[in-house]
Amino acid sequence: MMIERIETSARMSRIVKHNGTIYLCGQVCKDAEKDITVQTTTMLEKVDELLQKAGSDKHHLLSATIYVKDMSYFAAMNAVWDAWVPEGHAPARACVAAKMAREALLVEISVVAAEIS
């Protein structure tokens, strides 16, 4: 079974495809100086872009792991998430509080999706 790696560096690949499954590396916002709503919105825009590049979309999400800097952001993050996920297509999901790689980051997501056949 072939493994395809897209946008690969020494540290990681942004996308890995294997056997009809797409794995995205952790995605963060486009502007870390913004609030949790904007950070979540732009983070999910990046997920959309990468899924499209990989041959999938948010209707084919299998799982998502969301990391928030502090659970005080949980409700606001979920408001954006709930509006983004297509009805009837919610993936398996986990959400945990985590220390971020940079102080200004409030949220990060890692997703797995099925390739559109």
Task: Convert the pLDDT of each residue in 27-60 to its tens digit.
Answer: 999 999 999 999 999 999 999 999 999 999 999 9
Residue 117's pLDDT is 81
Q: For the residues 73-89, what does the mean pLDDT come to?
A: 98
Closest residue by Cα to residue 64 from 24, 29, 100? 24
Q: Rounded CA gap, 53 and 36, in Å?
A: 26
Range(s) of the domain holding residue 93: 3-114
Residue 1's pLDDT is 73
Kindly report the number of other CB atoms within 10 A of residue 83's CB atom.
10
Q: Which two tokens stand for residue 80?
A: 């954006």
- pLDDT of 113 above 80: yes
Indicate the pTM of the whole model.
0.95
- Tokens 């999901």 belong to 93
Beta carbons of 109 and 44 less than 8 angstroms apart = yes
Which CATH number goes with the domain that contains 67?
A: 3.30.1330.40
Q: Rounded CA gap, 81 and 90, in Å?
A: 10
Angle at 57 between CA 56 and CA 58, to 5 degrees: 140
Q: Kindly provide the residue ranges of all beta strands, DSSP E only, lying in 1-117, ordered along the sequence.
A: 3-8, 13-18, 21-24, 61-68, 92-97, 107-114
* Overall domain count for the chain: 1
